[in-house]
């Protein structure tokens, strides 16, 4: 992405039909592979839910884009629809794997890395921890700033790395944060910290100054995606 370009992210939760998670992730990778050198959305990752931690079957996709990419998507999808005619076959095939979903447009916090940053530092994960938080209206930026100062260093010591830290573009009550665990040991260390270390309880008390509700889920990446460690 060009220096100084404004980054946005599209976060998609896809409701999967039957055992279609792997098939849908492969279709996502196929579509993303057509984008290099052509502009438009860049695939940060596609992940399937770890069923014991949330809804299943589901897939999450995260795309990085610029404001101009976003305007172009709106134009092609809803104004000059003929520009997307070449995707008709892809959309038709996707119906065998998905029944709908929920999308969010997200704005990265100042400390949230770009995809190029992540690739440059070889950030990889075998599991990804996603936090979705409901915050008091207008408190998203303050919550993310507190997380950078007080919680990011703790998780880095435990071996996790931030993939993205975002507030909603079209709401002032939501924060999404995604962390990569490079191995099962890193996630195990995090979970043991959560269950036994007073520092985690202290952070949650601090977070409640901003947060009214919070949920974690685990996701496993599709092999061959940019940040996949499997």
Q: Which domains does the chain possess?
A: 7-107 (3.30.70.100), 108-221 (3.30.70.100)
Tell me the pLDDT of the chain averaged across its residues.
92
Q: What pLDDT does 36 receive?
A: 55
Q: What pLDDT does 150 receive?
A: 97
Per-residue model confidence as pLDDT tens digits over 171-188: 999 999 999 999 999 999
- Number of Cβ within 10 Å of residue 197's Cβ equals 13
Least confident window among 4-13, 107-116, 126-135, 212-221: 4-13
Question: Is residue 37 predicted with pLDDT exceeding 60?
Answer: no
Q: What is the C-alpha to C-alpha distance for residues 64 and 114, in angstroms, rounded to an integer?
A: 8
Buried b (16+ CB within 10 A) or exposed e, 132-159: bbebeeebbbebbebbbeebbeebeebb
DSSP class of residue 5 equals P
Residue 34 phi, psi (nearest 5): -85, -10
Q: What is the C-alpha to C-alpha distance for residues 29 and 27, in angstroms, rounded to an integer?
A: 5
When computed from its CA atoms, the radius of gyration of the chain, rounded to whole angstroms, is 18
Q: What pLDDT does 71 receive?
A: 87
**Residue in the block written with tokens 């999404």:** 176
Asked whether the beta carbons of 161 and 152 are under 8 A apart, the reply is: no
Question: Is residue 26 predicted with pLDDT exceeding 90?
Answer: yes
CA dihedral 71, 4, 36, 112 (to 10 degrees): -90
pLDDT band (50, 70, 90) for residue 35: low
């Amino acid at each position: 992405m060009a220096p100084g370009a404004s980054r946005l992210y599209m976060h998609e939760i896809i409701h999967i039909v039957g055992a279609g998670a792997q098939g849908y992730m492969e279709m996502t990778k196929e579509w993303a592979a057509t984008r290099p050198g052509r502009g438009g959305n860049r695939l940060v990752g596609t992940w399937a839910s770890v069923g014991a931690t949330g809804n299943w079957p589901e897939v999450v996709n995260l795309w990085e884009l610029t404001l101009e990419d976003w305007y172009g998507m709106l134009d092609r999808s809803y104004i000059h629809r003929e520009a997307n005619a070449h995707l008709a076959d892809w959309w038709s095939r996707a119906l065998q794997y998905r029944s709908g979903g929920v999308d969010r447009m997200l704005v990265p916090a100042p400390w949230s890395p770009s995809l190029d940053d992540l690739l440059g530092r070889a950030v990889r994960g075998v599991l990804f921890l996603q936090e979705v938080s409901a915050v008091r209206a207008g408190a998203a930026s303050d919550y993310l700033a507190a997380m950078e100062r007080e919680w990011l260093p703790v998780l880095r010591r435990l071996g996790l790395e931030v993939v993205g830290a975002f507030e909603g573009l079209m709401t002032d009550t939501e924060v999404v944060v995604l962390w990569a665990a490079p191995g099962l040991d890193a996630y195990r260390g995090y979970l043991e910290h959560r269950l036994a270390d007073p520092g985690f309880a202290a952070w949650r008390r601090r977070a409640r100054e901003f947060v009214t509700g919070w949920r974690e889920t685990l996701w496993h990446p599709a092999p061959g995606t940019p940040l996949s460690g499997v």
